[in-house]
């Protein structure tokens, strides 16, 4: 078996560096993909830094993977050699629990197998992600990319895209609804594109006035500056739904005030404890505070097909793999519009 080039971190907060891994042989239901592009998610940096204290090293990040099928198992029927294929945040789940049976593998009650840093019987004992030349996965967790989408911009759809699409669809966002997207970053810019494409009156909610022009170019109908107390007060009780993409701890108070009676704010950015919640804001207005992660495989394919129909991709900056450590530094500063994507042919 030939060694496969990848980039890995070997200890907490250690720069990524070249590392050779092995992939399993292609089984009867497996698809082998030569990776062409892999998006850079903030989650990748969290795992490299061990911010959530769950990283097992060496870690090879990457779960926004797009490439070409180069080998197939004998029982594969969804793909052909040469097909454009994609893998997102998970490569397996138990398949038997209630969530999996309902097509919500992301909420597998026994825990889904993540594309990287999950226990596996494959070589290395942990799954290795898309910062590598090749990946092998069961066809049930491999997705089709519409032919009309530029593949560099399609890669982040596998995480940033589905993370924002799934809650918007779950809460039936559509025409005659006023939707706020909090935070204009990798997630937020996709939230704006999807809410607009679904027909909602889309409002970008940001602390930064200089982002207004960008937000409108992405599809926002209006921009609300959250640091402007008077502007925020005028919008209290006006929103049907708010998608909160802020990736760090923050106060929810001023955003909950914006919701109508019975309306919902969904958190998709911050995977950590948040500042204290004033329950009175929920009680007086029967408001809902919720959260969401990615979508299941069926919903992710639905999202990709929707993107093909609406010609939606992420706004990206393509880098070579040897630029990844600098890209991580820029990611912390939000110095990218709006997602880094690695050209894996550069490895």
- Residues 144 and 229 occupy one common structural domain: no
Residue 297 lies in a domain: no
Residue 81 lies in a domain: yes
Q: Please tell me the total count of domains within the chain.
A: 2
**Going by C-beta distance under 8 Å and a sequence separation of 6 or more, which residues neighbour residue 262?**
285, 286, 287, 288
Residue 341 lies in a domain: yes
CA 321/CA 6 separation, integer angstroms: 9
- Residues 61 and 36 occupy one common structural domain: yes
CA 268/CA 212 separation, integer angstroms: 22
- Residues 277 and 218 occupy one common structural domain: yes
- Residues 81 and 33 occupy one common structural domain: yes
Residue 71 lies in a domain: yes
Residue 337 lies in a domain: yes
Whole-number Cα distances in Å, 106 to 61, 94, 97, 101, 203: 18, 11, 12, 11, 28
- Residues 180 and 59 occupy one common structural domain: no
For 141, list phi and psi in degrees, rounded to 5: -115, 15
Residue 49 lies in a domain: yes
- Give the pLDDT score at 278: 87
Helices (H), 78-228: 98-101, 151-154, 160-170, 186-197, 212-218
CA 211/CA 192 separation, integer angstroms: 13
For 279, list phi and psi in degrees, rounded to 5: -60, -25
Contacts 24+ apart (CB under 8 A), 174-179: 174/198, 174/199, 174/200, 175/199, 175/200, 176/201, 177/201, 177/240, 177/241, 178/203, 178/238, 178/239, 178/240, 178/241, 179/203, 179/239, 179/240, 179/241, 179/242, 179/243
- Residues 39 and 101 occupy one common structural domain: yes
DSSP string, 83-99: -EEEE-SEEE--S-SHH
Of 291, 306, 332, the last residue of a domain is 291
- Give the pLDDT score at 102: 97
- Residues 24 and 148 occupy one common structural domain: yes
Give the residue among 4, 102, 139, 109 at the shortest CA–CA distance from 62: 4
- Give the pLDDT score at 272: 82
Give the residue among 183, 233, 188, 186 at the shortest CA–CA distance from 207: 183
Residue 174 lies in a domain: yes
- Residues 325 and 218 occupy one common structural domain: no
- Give the pLDDT score at 271: 83
Residue 301 lies in a domain: no
- Residues 105 and 32 occupy one common structural domain: yes
CA 37/CA 343 separation, integer angstroms: 5
Can you list the positions of beta strands (E) in the chain?
4-8, 17-21, 30-39, 65-72, 84-87, 90-92, 113-114, 134-138, 143-144, 178-182, 201-206, 222-225, 239-244, 259-267, 288-291, 316-320, 339-343
- Residues 130 and 89 occupy one common structural domain: yes
What is the domain-level CATH number for residue 233? 3.40.50.720
Is-contact 205 212, C-beta < 8 A?
no
Structural domain span for residue 145: 4-159+314-346
What is the domain-level CATH number for residue 84? 3.90.180.10
Q: What is the pLDDT of residues 94-140, one digit of tens each?
A: 999 999 999 999 999 999 999 999 999 999 999 999 999 999 999 99
- Give the pLDDT score at 1: 63
- Give the pLDDT score at 76: 97
Is-contact 89 294, C-beta < 8 A?
yes
**What stretches in the chain show pLDDT beneath 70?**
1
Distance of CA 122 to the CA centre of its chain: 25
- Residues 28 and 138 occupy one common structural domain: yes
- Give the pLDDT score at 274: 86
- Residues 179 and 245 occupy one common structural domain: yes
Strand partners for 8: 17
């Amino acid at each position: 078996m030939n060694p496969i080039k990848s980039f890995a971190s070997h200890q907490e907060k250690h720069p990524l560096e070249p590392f050779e891994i092995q992939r399993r042989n292609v089984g009867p239901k497996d698809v082998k993909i030569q990776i062409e592009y892999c998006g850079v998610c903030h989650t990748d940096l969290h795992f490299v830094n061990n911010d959530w204290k769950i990283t097992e090293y060496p870690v090879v990040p990457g779960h926004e993977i797009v490439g070409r099928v180069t080998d197939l198992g004998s029982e594969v029927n969804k793909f052909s050699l040469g097909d454009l294929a994609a893998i997102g945040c998970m490569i397996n789940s138990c398949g038997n629990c209630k969530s999996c049976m309902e097509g919500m593998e992301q909420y597998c009650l026994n825990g889904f197998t993540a594309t990287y840093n999950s226990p596996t019987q494959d070589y290395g004992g942990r799954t290795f992600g898309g910062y590598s030349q090749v990946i092998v996965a069961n066809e049930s967790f491999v997705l089709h990319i519409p032919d009309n989408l530029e593949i560099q911009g399609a890669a982040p759809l596998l995480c940033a895209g589905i993370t924002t699409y799934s809650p918007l669809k779950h809460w039936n966002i559509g025409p005659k609804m006023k939707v706020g997207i909090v935070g204009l970053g990798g997630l937020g810019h996709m939230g704006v594109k999807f809410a607009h494409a679904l027909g909602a009156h889309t409002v970008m909610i940001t602390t930064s006035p200089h982002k207004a022009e960008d937000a409108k170019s992405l599809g926002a109908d209006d921009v609300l500056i959250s640091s402007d107390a008077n502007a925020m007060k005028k919008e209290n009780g006006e929103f049907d739904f708010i998608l909160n993409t802020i990736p760090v701890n923050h106060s929810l108070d001023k955003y909950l005030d914006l919701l109508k009676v019975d309306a919902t704010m969904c958190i998709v950015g911050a995977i950590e404890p948040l500042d204290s919640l004033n329950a009175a804001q929920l009680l007086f207005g029967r408001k809902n505070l919720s959260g969401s992660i990615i979508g299941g495989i069926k919903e992710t394919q639905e999202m990709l097909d929707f993107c093909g129909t609406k010609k939606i991709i992420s706004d990206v900056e393509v880098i070579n793999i040897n630029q990844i450590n600098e890209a991580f530094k820029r990611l912390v500063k939000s110095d990218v519009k709006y997602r880094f994507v690695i050209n894996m042919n550069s490895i």
